[in-house]
Amino acid sequence: MKKLSMMTSLAILLLTLVTASARPQRPATAPPTAPSGKPPDTVMLEELTWAEVRDLIAGGVTTVIIGTAGTEQKGPHMVDGEHKFVMEYTGDKIARALGKTLVAPVVTYVPEGNWENPTGHMSKPGTITLPDDRFVELLVNAGRSLRAGGFKTILLIGESGGNRNGMRMAADKLNELWKGSDARAFWVDDYYTKSHADQNKYVTEKLGVPADKIGGHANVLDTSELLFVNAKHIRKNKLVDAYENNGVSGDPTKSTPELGKAFLQIKIDNALAQIKGLMAGTLQRQASETPGQSEGGGRAGRGGRGAVLNAERRTLEPTMNTAPASRTPTQAPDTVFIDEMTWEETRDALKTGKTTVIVPTGGTEKNGYHMVLGKHNFVVTHNANLMARRLKNALVAPTIQYVPEGNPDTQPPGAISLPSPAYDMLLDAAARSLKVHGFKDILFIGDSGGNQTGLTSVAEKLNKEWEGGDTKVFALTDYYEASRVYYRAWLQAAFGYDQETAGSHAGITDTSQMLFIRPSGIRKDQIKPWGGPQDSGVSGDPAKATADIGKMGVEFKVNAGINQYKLLKNPPARGRGGRRGSGPDR
């Protein structure tokens, strides 16, 4: 897998033959810099351009929230991405209420237990765990990156009990690194721990449910919150589906959107009060003082490594066999995304042969004055969906938005870097978690050049470790490497655009794909020939981009990824001795 495929080599030859001599790019008269223009009404970092973030920081927006969620089982009635959907909502509300605050991409890979002896949440298909030490490294690198870009206050807020220890450790490490500077990191524990105590009190007073009957996971609290935030992710026909070890602690049948709104406001208010106290210096503590905390924080077993009701200790793989055979979802939704599925739906998809899973890696990086920081995240998520549907036997794990972008301490405004080995360890944890649940083929794809080395090294390492088993990891580097060669050759043949015009970053190719996939991520008034100002970071001429060109770029990526997977899975015999191609043999 270290070498480009034969098709890639042929494409390189084709491009060499048809490419005209290089022409100059940005005119020497281009200004060194420029204002960004008015940003849209959003506080989400990946929905802003680097220049918009730069100018917001200059205007005093120097606080950023890193929300941590999780991908974990939430009973038969609720999707595995519940924490993510709730954190996106509350992060937005907290940032707007606090003022001068933005929100980094929500972290969906968090501590959920271990893969060696899966218990609790890890005993249910779809849950993905990232051990504490790796979780801390992710948060520390994110904090360093955001500090380098100009943010001064980093707020760590978590939706899951298992995240508490890692956020505390990350805040301590960042504050030690920044000692003597004007930067600081705060762990906002009242959002989780104090709020759960307050919510439980509310349930007892308003609904008459005794405290010891409220439960601790996928109960009336969790379910009501998601009913308010995104009701389509609740399977209402599964609310009354009680059986032993179903992943629920408590009774979700009393859940309503109105209760969810009240519960969420408790979280938002508690977080705001603690943040304001910490920032003003009138409050020193970061851990909640709420009495009766469990190990996981707040309600026993909610999130992280806490055990769920009647959970059994497991030692066998895969974990798909965790419920009576008769307990099958009646109507699974039309989605391939694990975080939009319940654990039962993932289990049943595995049983019907969907044992391939795609792990997309994107990036949060500078993409010119005209394109948002989250370009790679949006593109790779869209393309992973297409790949899974065309393969017909695949699901998609949450997109990894934190990838190698260079030294975290030298990042431009809004960019976030997770360099290796931390990036590799995140990929490793994702693959090990998915293997436990019964996935056989794990496909890594990366939408950025810096992602490729880690994909390859982790795949090689795991395939060596798992040699002789029935689980393989495929680093589909052709999704990026080969597709860009084909794409440029096509642009030359169809339009006469040479390599310099097409560009290698935020030029015709990248901009066109975003115009096709997510046009709201393009500031059309900021599209300038050759990227405009000298500090744009653009290579190529985005002024020539179109959605139709972007559609072709998507096809090149998707087809290159699928073709490489098929070739590696069933490599043709080569030479007289029948020598097979590179990659894992099947």
CATH of the domain at 85: 3.40.50.10310
Question: How many whole angstroms separate alpha carbon 340 and alpha carbon 71?
Answer: 10
Kindly tell me the burial class for residue 292, based on how many C-beta atoms sit within 10 Å of its own C-beta (0-12, 13-18, 19 or more): exposed
Question: How many whole angstroms separate alpha carbon 219 and alpha carbon 232?
Answer: 17
Whether the CB-CB separation of 424 and 454 falls below 8 Å is answered with yes
CA distances from 408 to 237, 311, 392 (A): 47, 40, 38
Q: Tens digits of per-residue pLDDT, 495-528? A: 999 999 999 999 999 999 999 999 999 999 999 9
Q: Does any domain span residue 204? A: yes
CA distances from 341 to 73, 79, 88, 330 (A): 9, 5, 18, 13
Q: pLDDT at residue 537 above 70?
A: yes
Q: pLDDT at residue 585 above 60?
A: no
Q: In sequence order, what are the residues at sequence separation of 6 or more whose Cβ sits closer than 8 angstroms to the Cβ of residue 407?
A: 417, 419
311 CA to centre of own chain: 28
Q: Residue 106: pLDDT band by 50, 70, 90 thresholds?
A: very high
**Best CA proximity match to 44, nearest among 89, 81, 86:** 89
pLDDT of residue 18: 44
Q: Does any domain span residue 116? A: yes
| Count of domains forming the chain | 1
* Dihedral sign from CA coordinates of 506, 512, 514, 515: positive
Q: Tens digits of per-residue pLDDT, 171-194? A: 999 999 999 999 999 999 999 999
Q: Which tokens sit at 452? A: 């490729």
CA distances from 520 to 375, 515, 533 (A): 11, 8, 22
Q: Tens digits of per-residue pLDDT, 412-421? A: 999 999 999 9
pLDDT of residue 332: 81
Q: Residue 326: pLDDT band by 50, 70, 90 thresholds?
A: low
Whether the CB-CB separation of 135 and 84 falls below 8 Å is answered with no
Whether the CB-CB separation of 437 and 406 falls below 8 Å is answered with no
**Best CA proximity match to 186, nearest among 300, 273, 87, 69:** 273
Q: Tens digits of per-residue pLDDT, 358-396? A: 999 999 999 999 999 999 999 999 999 999 999 999 999
pLDDT of residue 26: 66
Question: Locate tokens 């509350």: which residue?
Answer: 90
Average pLDDT, whole number, for the chain? Answer: 90
* Dihedral sign from CA coordinates of 230, 73, 451, 467: negative
Q: Does any domain span residue 225? A: yes
Question: How many whole angstroms separate alpha carbon 157 and alpha carbon 163?
Answer: 9
- The DSSP bridge partners found for residue 107 are 68
Q: Residue 140: pLDDT band by 50, 70, 90 thresholds?
A: very high
Q: pLDDT at residue 291 above 80?
A: no
Average pLDDT rounded to a whole number, residues 216-224? 96
Average pLDDT rounded to a whole number, residues 111-120? 90
Strands (DSSP E) along 397-511, which ranges?
441-446, 472-475
DSSP state letter for 441: E
Q: How many CB atoms lie within 10 A of CB 132?
A: 17
Q: Does any domain span residue 170? A: yes
What residue type is assigned to position 457 of the chain?
S
DSSP state letter for 310: T
Q: Which tokens sit at 322? A: 């965790």
**Helix-strand-coil split of the chain, %, nearest 5:** 45, 10, 40
pLDDT of residue 306: 36
0.95 exceeded by pTM: no
Q: Does any domain span residue 426? A: yes
Q: Which tokens sit at 214? A: 């409220």
Question: How many whole angstroms separate alpha carbon 420 and alpha carbon 440?
Answer: 25
Q: Crossing angle of helices 481-495/547-569, nearest 10°?
A: 140
pLDDT of residue 444: 99
Q: Which tokens sit at 218? A: 């996928």
Q: Crossing angle of helices 220-230/257-280, nearest 10°?
A: 90
Q: Does any domain span residue 516? A: no
Whether the CB-CB separation of 434 and 397 falls below 8 Å is answered with yes
* 154: enclosing H helix or E strand: strand 153-158
- The DSSP bridge partners found for residue 474 are 443
CA torsion, points 132, 138, 141, 144, in degrees to nearest 10? -80
Q: In sequence order, what are the residues at sequence separation of 6 or more whose Cβ sits closer than 8 angstroms to the Cβ of residue 60?
A: 100
- Enclosing domain of residue 277: 45-285+336-355+393-439
Q: pLDDT at residue 400 above 80?
A: yes
Q: Which tokens sit at 168? A: 């505390």
CA distances from 169 to 83, 221, 326, 582 (A): 21, 28, 44, 42
Question: How many whole angstroms separate alpha carbon 583 and alpha carbon 559?
Answer: 18
Q: Is 55 helix (H, G, I), strand (E, B) or coil?
A: helix
pLDDT of residue 480: 98
Q: Does any domain span residue 40? A: no
Average pLDDT rounded to a whole number, residues 339-355? 94
Kindly tell me the burial class for residue 115, based on how many C-beta atoms sit within 10 Å of its own C-beta (0-12, 13-18, 19 or more): buried
Q: pLDDT at residue 324 above 90?
A: no
Q: Which of 20-29, 54-63, 158-167 has the lowest mean pLDDT?
A: 20-29
pLDDT of residue 573: 78
Q: Does any domain span residue 185? A: yes
398: preceding bond cis by omega (within 30 degrees) = no
pLDDT of residue 316: 44
* Separate counts of helices (H) and strands (E) for the chain: 16, 10
Q: pLDDT at residue 216 above 80?
A: yes
